[in-house]
Amino acid sequence: MWRGTSVVLILTALACRANYRDWQTPGCRVDKPDLKILQISDTHVAIPADGVWLREKLKAALEKHQPDLLIHTGDVTLDGAAHEWRIFESAVRDLKPAPLLVWGNHDMPLKDSEWKKEGFTRFVEQKNYRLVFLDSAWPGWFKGSYTEVPETELSLLSHAAETEKPILLFAHHPLAKDAPGFRLNNADAVLAVFAHKKLSGVFTGHFHGAYIAPADKTLFAGVTPLTLQRFNHTLSQSKGYRLIELENGCLRTKHFEVD
């Protein structure tokens, strides 16, 4: 009885720390964005019906917002199986823009497959911004839910952070000191890489709930899952995506729920 009660209390505490509010960089405005990003996460594709549902929701969101980039912050699949990945590929086929992604803990078997290069640590330049992608999916307790990235990954991250441009960081596991839950074990070491950089925003998944956690000059934000069947760690069934808009280094973001 005590164990079950404790689980409920923990989940309730996590739910209370989730929030879905809009956010904009204090002291500046975003009126005509020079970069628009649609963030999705935790699609947990397992069966064909998941792919059909996901494609419908993505097409509607892309048509509505016309983003420059579509970014998936991990747990693309339920168990990292090849057939699940193929369902996801079918769901996003011919969508514009095509998704960029990082691996989630549920995707780890795919890292040893023919698709292993999809979600690795890297960066891309987009207009006057650098987008850094961190592969935070490594072995850990409970299927990689409580994990840390190895030193080799931190070295790749340091290389990716070498820029004077504003940086947006995308990863699966939460990194904010005030994250609602499931924070990467060595998140402090990851953030130290960006200590003297222009880190504007850090966007993650894994928690299955939206949140906003500003810290100094960096916004930390999570997003609800965009999935047909999976439960949320916030004791809700909210599904959705996040729109990230930038203009001259200013950042604005809003979370959108879907039916």
pLDDT tens figures, 89-121 = 999 999 999 999 999 999 999 999 888 788 999
Average pLDDT over residues 155-159: 96
Q: What is the pLDDT of residue 164?
A: 96
CA R_g for the chain = 17
Q: What is the pLDDT of residue 6?
A: 42
- Residue 10 reports pLDDT greater than 50: no
Beta bridge partners of 132: 123, 169
Average pLDDT over residues 145-159: 94
User: Which domains occur in the chain, in start order?
Assistant: 2-258 (3.60.21.10)
| Nearest by Cα to 142 from 179, 105, 176, 175 | 105
Average pLDDT over residues 82-95: 97
Is this model's pTM higher than 0.85 or not? yes
Are the C-beta atoms of 109 and 119 separated by less than 8 Å? no
CB-hemisphere CA count at 13 Å for 2?
0
Q: What is the pLDDT of residue 9?
A: 37
Q: In what order do the strands lie in the sheet with 199-204?
A: 122-126, 129-133, 167-170, 199-204, 218-222, 211-215
- Residue 7 reports pLDDT greater than 50: no
